Amino acid sequence: MKQQKLRICTLALLALVLFASAGIASPLKVDVNISDYVKVQGVAGNLNSVGSDTLNNMMTFWAEGFRKKYPNVNIQIEGKGSSTAPPALIEGTSQLGPMSRAMKANEVQAFETKYGFKPTTIGVALDSLAVFINKDNPIEGLSIPQVDAIFSKTHKGGLSNAATWGDVGLSGEWANKPISLYGRNSASGTYGYFKSKALFKGDYKDSVKEQPGSASVVLGVTEDKAGVGYSGIGYKTSGVKAIALGKKDGEKQYEPTYANVMNGKYPLGRMLYLNVVKEPNKPLPTLVKEFLKFVLSTEGQEIVIKDGYLPLTAELVKQQLALLD
């Protein structure tokens, strides 16, 4: 089996290269070269999923679609954060481990200690991790260093502390409004990803109101005119705006669109994963394999779009399917 780290890096690079050349227009459509799911015989039993809150709704939609084809399948889904996925796989309490980030080295090591081989990680969708503000907030965009100045107490992005909306450029009634912060808790893969990419691996301010799920972050910002928070783009509602982001202060800022994730211009584009236990040179259990094949089918990727996330290309799907054998 190839090294998992190499797989993940290759996957991320291909996502940017392939999507940049895909020329997919809006509205989003599934790549026509992705195959429809073909139902097979003998699929039944219980399937458990423990992990990412970001993928929770998408997992539910996938489960509903899969059970329409296989009524004798029972699927239980628990989404309390990406950090809950590796222990559940290791303990054998789940067969699917959704994560909004790659496994950390210590998580892979713990998995390998238990099983004697590394986890198999399947890319299932793309996400533009969004910075949300209240719909009435007039700001159009921020640089990543400004985001760091807002959320971090270590300010590794190089800017001084931003405590009011005036500190990041707003005037008038907004100038003296204290910025109200909403985020995820440390069990969340989104918490870790945002810390790494937007806070330059710095530390969150103590004033961040940690929420148990992405929906709670968005609701908090919706109800708080001076609020700002972060979550997967699939949780966007009419009560918030997902702002444009720039990689450096003073540089052009880009909306969290499919095209900007594809070409790498949006700085917080990421892959979403499902992790499974697959012994080298041995087939996955039929139930697990067929569920993953469904996720990577036309219907499965249509569900990705339905939930507000970004579908894979046919080439990426082909590579993920190869990992199942």
3 state DSSP class of 99 = strand
Q: Is the pLDDT of residue 4 over 70?
A: no
Report yes or no on 267 lying in a domain.
no
Residue 25 lies in a domain: yes
3-state secondary structure of 159: coil
pLDDT of residue 49: 98
DSSP 24: P
Among residues 198, 223, 255, the one where a domain terminates is: 255
Integer CA distances (angstroms), 167 to 82, 178, 242, 320, 322, in order: 33, 10, 19, 45, 50
Q: Does residue 234 sit within a domain? A: yes
Q: How far is 58 from 291, CA to CA, in rounded Å?
A: 13
CA–CA distance, 310 with 271 (Å, rounded to integer) = 9
Q: How many domains does the chain have?
A: 2
Q: Are residues 238 and 277 in the same domain?
A: no
Q: Would you say residue 81 has pLDDT above 80?
A: yes
CATH number at residue 247: 3.40.190.10
What would the mean pLDDT of 135-147 be, rounded to a whole number? 98
* Residue 6 confidence (pLDDT) above 90: no
Can you tell me the distance from the alpha carbon of 225 to that of 241, in angstroms, rounded to the nearest whole number? 12
Cα separations in angstroms, 157 against 110, 136, 164, 189: 33, 27, 18, 21
Q: Does some domain include residue 266?
A: no
Q: Is the pLDDT assigned to residue 11 strictly greater than 90?
A: no
Pair of tokens at residue 238? 């009419």
Q: Same domain for 136 and 251?
A: yes
Domain of 307, in residue numbers: 4-127+272-322
Q: Average of pLDDT values for 69-86?
A: 97
Global pTM reads 0.84
Q: Looking at the structure, do residues 97 and 146 belong to the same domain, yes or no?
A: no
Q: What is the pLDDT of residue 258?
A: 86
- Residues pairing with 46 in the sheet: 74
C-alpha–C-alpha distance, residues 325 and 323, integer Å: 6
80 within some domain: yes
Instruction: Indicate whether 119 and 153 sit together in one domain.
Output: no
Reading the block at residue 65, the tokens are 């679609």
246 and 137, same structural domain?
yes
